[in-house]
């Protein structure tokens, strides 16, 4: 009898090693340094105060992963690393990588406890209690680091999200919990008739103003302070929730969705950007892993289109359509009943 191939199991055993190799290289500034000029391991080790032989192993590992190219003992940055791992790139995931390394990686070390208790791990790992966003914004550096992480991620997916449905019939969008404004920026740059408000908590606003100010559509972008659970929502015929609903329980989602429906005019709509689970809850893998991440970090979870449809119809929305983008996030558009 032939044995099943063990390769999938071995790959899972070793998966964290690949992540930590990239995480370490990013934290050391390797990619930003090689973006400026290619170098040998010895030269980089001298500059960084590292053990030359040990650093060479890290660089060779990055080369094996396709992040660097090694030619005659000189390391060169590859196009994929140039685009996604360098701070200067508009599409840099540097912030998301550092957040994953410094925050998520230690929290995932306590997945078993999260499964036993059904609650996030902020208190256990960082000694921080209270509402979840107190944890994200526990200091000015933590807040900016989290927002940099979300901005890099958003710049890669928001242009895809705003193209999933035709939004040309809308005139004013309110991006609730809009962070640095990447979704509002993408929408206004694609639809010239659209004006947008980025609506978020006070710690987010300085970076939101900075990022929206860089957009070609900056004159049609505004940044407004507010809490979408407790404050009055801006006026809009299109509301947007980008990676918001997966933070919260069904009960809190209903509170927010009803509030949005009440604020929308007739014919208004809600754009939701999340990763959609299959209807049976199995797959795609990235959605399942993100749902476990929500267990560890928030009180929410990932959902299927059917689950979102149920929530939306309970709260005053009628037409609900989903679009699987093939990218990191999918899109749902719901029109008010």
Average pLDDT, the chain: 94
| The pLDDT of residue 156 | 86
Mean of pLDDT values over 131-144: 63
* Low-confidence winner among 111-120, 201-210, 291-300 (lowest mean pLDDT): 201-210
Domain match, 75 and 115 both: no
Does residue 157 have a pLDDT over 80?
yes
Please identify every residue annotated as catalytic.
246
Last residue of a domain, one of 69, 84, 99: 84
Does residue 139 have a pLDDT over 70?
no
Does residue 67 have a pLDDT over 70?
yes
Does residue 303 have a pLDDT over 90?
yes
Residue 99 lies in a domain: no
Domain match, 329 and 181 both: yes
Residue 301 lies in a domain: yes
Residue 93 lies in a domain: no
Domain match, 270 and 128 both: yes
Strand 195-200 vs strand 238-242: parallel, antiparallel, or unpaired?
unpaired
Does residue 203 have a pLDDT over 90?
no
Domain match, 114 and 252 both: yes
Domain match, 209 and 68 both: no
Residue 246 lies in a domain: yes
| The pLDDT of residue 152 | 79
pTM (two decimals): 0.92
Domain of residue 48, CATH code: 1.10.10.10
Exposure pattern of 213-239 as b/e (b: 16+ CB <10 Å)?
eebebeebbbbbebebeeeebbebbbb
Residue 25 lies in a domain: yes
Number of H helices, E strands in the chain: 16, 12
Mean of pLDDT values over 251-267: 97
Residue 95 lies in a domain: no
Q: At what angle do helices 52-64 and 7-27 cross, to 10 degrees?
A: 120
- Rounded CA separation 211/88 (Å): 14
Does residue 194 have a pLDDT over 80?
yes
| The pLDDT of residue 130 | 63
Does residue 132 have a pLDDT over 80?
no
Asked whether 274 and 301 are in contact (CB, 8 A), the reply is no
| The pLDDT of residue 137 | 59
- Rounded CA separation 31/219 (Å): 34
Residue 102 lies in a domain: no
Domain match, 113 and 77 both: no
Q: What total of structural domains would you count in the chain?
A: 2
Which two three-digit tokens encode residue 168?
A: 């040309």
Confidence at 337, pLDDT banded by 50, 70, 90: confident
Mean of pLDDT values over 72-80: 98
Quickly tell me which residue has 């930590």 as its tokens. 20
Which two three-digit tokens encode residue 25?
A: 């290289």
| The pLDDT of residue 91 | 87
Domain match, 171 and 34 both: no
Which DSSP string corresponds to 2-24? Answer: PPPP-HHHHHHHHHHHHHHHHHH
Residue 98 lies in a domain: no
- Rounded CA separation 141/144 (Å): 5
Of 207, 180, 185, 206, nearest in space to 195 by CA:
185
Domain match, 173 and 133 both: yes
Q: Which structural domain, as residue segments, surrounds residue 57?
A: 7-84
- First-to-last alpha carbon distance for the chain, in angstroms, is 59
Domain of residue 136, CATH code: 3.40.50.150
Phi, psi of 271 (to 5 degrees): -105, 125
Does residue 142 have a pLDDT over 70?
no
């Amino acid at each position: 009898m032939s044995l099943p191939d063990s390769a999938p199991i071995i790959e899972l055993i070793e998966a964290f090693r690949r992540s930590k190799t990239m995480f370490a290289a990013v934290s050391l500034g390797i990619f930003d340094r090689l973006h400026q000029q290619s170098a040998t391991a010895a030269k980089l080790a001298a500059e960084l105060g590292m053990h030359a032989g040990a650093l060479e192993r890290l660089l060779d590992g990055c080369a094996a992963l396709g992040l660097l190219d090694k030619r005659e003992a000189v390391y060169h940055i590859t196009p994929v690393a140039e685009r996604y791992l360098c701070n200067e790139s508009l599409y840099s995931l540097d912030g998301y990588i550092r957040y994953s390394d410094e925050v998520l990686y230690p929290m995932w070390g306590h997945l078993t406890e999260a499964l036993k208790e059904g609650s996030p791990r902020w208190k256990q790992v960082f000694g921080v209690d209270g509402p979840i966003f107190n944890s994200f914004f526990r200091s000015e550096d933590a807040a900016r680091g989290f927002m940099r992480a979300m901005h890099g991620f958003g710049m890669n997916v928001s242009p895809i999200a705003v193209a999933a449905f035709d939004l040309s019939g809308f005139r004013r969008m309110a991006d609730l919990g809009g962070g640095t404004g990447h979704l509002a920026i993408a929408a206004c740059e694609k639809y010239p008739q659209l004006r947008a408000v980025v609506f978020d908590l006070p710690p987010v606003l300085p970076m939101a103003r900075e990022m929206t100010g860089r957009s070609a559509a900056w004159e049609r972008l505004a940044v407004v302070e507010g809490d979408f659970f407790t404050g009055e929502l801006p006026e809009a015929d299109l509301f947007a929730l980008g990676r918001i609903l997966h933070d919260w329980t069904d009960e809190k989602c209903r509170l927010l969705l009803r509030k949005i429906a009440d604020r929308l005019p007739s014919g208004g709509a809600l754009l939701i950007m999340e990763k959609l689970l299959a209807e049976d809850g199995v797959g795609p893998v990235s959605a399942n892993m993100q749902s476990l991440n929500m267990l560890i970090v928030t009180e929410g979870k990932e959902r299927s289109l059917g689950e979102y449809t149920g929530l939306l119809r309970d709260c005053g929305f009628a037409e609900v359509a989903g679009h699987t983008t093939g990218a990191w996030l999918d899109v749902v558009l719901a029109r008010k009943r």
